[in-house]
Amino acid sequence: MKKLEDIKLFRDLEEASLKYRDLEFKNKDTEIEYNTQLQNLLISYKSQLPQIKNRYDFISKQVKDQSNYYSSKNVYNTIISLNNLVSSKCDYIKNYDLDREHTCVHAVIGSTVDELSLINNSIKNKDFLKDKHTYLYIYEKISINSFMNFLALKDMSINKNLIDALSQLVLAQIQSVALVSL
């Protein structure tokens, strides 16, 4: 654990997770209902973590297998394109008026986007070259957690454009992590 704590990305991710902790409920009755619904969905998906990890691994394997047909230059260009897509989706979601959503949804989406943005910036800066195994471990754990958060959020009554952007963001990040791991 000490090794992880020494990595700036890990500390930044911890900070991003805590950022939305103190949001105030707008309407306590409906907020408590939505919070309970979201918590139940997250608990349900956490109990399915092995299946979610299998889906994550399947997507990663497809990306890695497909990359075998391309030159390293094409793979590098694909990573850049995926990073740009992740950045644009993060910007779209950050600029979306999340205050229109329930507080618990706002917190989960906000922290998920912040974490994926940190990973994306770390990949852009090639931080993973310092300690590939540790950085890929962090990238994978955050990407799987984001995937699980997305699955729970898609079952809530959230704006379709917001869910579509979150879906594209999570998928692009999974693909980017898969390519960086080569």
Q: Among candidates 167, 164, 127, which has minimal Cα distance to 146?
A: 167
Q: Name the 3-class secondary structure at 156.
A: coil
The reported pLDDT for the residue numbered 178 is 98
Q: Are 95 and 111 in contact (CB under 8 A)?
A: no
Positions of the chain with pLDDT lower than 50, given as ranges: none
Six-digit token pair at 154?
């898609």
Contacts of 116 (CB under 8 A, 6+ apart): 86, 90, 142, 143, 146, 169, 170, 173
147: in domain: yes
Q: Is 7 contained in some domain?
A: no
User: Domain for residue 79, yes or no?
Assistant: yes
Residue 1: predicted pLDDT: 54
pLDDT value for 7: 82
Does any domain span residue 2?
no
Q: Report the CATH number at residue 153.
A: 1.20.140
- 123 within 8 A of 79, measured Cβ to Cβ: yes
**Look-up of token digits 């020494």:** 6
Q: Write down the pLDDT at residue 165.
A: 97
pLDDT of residue 3: 73
Task: Report how far Cα 130 is from the mean position of its chain's Cα atoms.
Answer: 22
**CA-to-CA dists, residue 28 to 84, 104, 142, angstroms:** 38, 11, 30
**Sign of the alpha-carbon dihedral angle for 48, 13, 62, 89:** positive
Residues 27-79: pLDDT tens digits? 777 788 888 999 999 999 999 999 999 999 999 999 999 999 999 999 999 99
Domain, as residue range, for 72? 24-180
Report how many domains make up the chain.
Answer: 1
Residue 153 inside a domain? The answer is yes
For CA atoms 44, 175, 105, 156, the dihedral sign is negative
At residue 65, the pLDDT reads 97
Question: Would residue 107 count as lying in a domain?
Answer: yes
Has residue 104 been placed in a domain? Answer: yes
Q: Would residue 12 count as lying in a domain?
A: no
Indicate whether this model's pTM tops 0.75: yes
User: What pLDDT is attached to residue 2?
Assistant: 55
Distance CA 120, CA 105 (A): 22
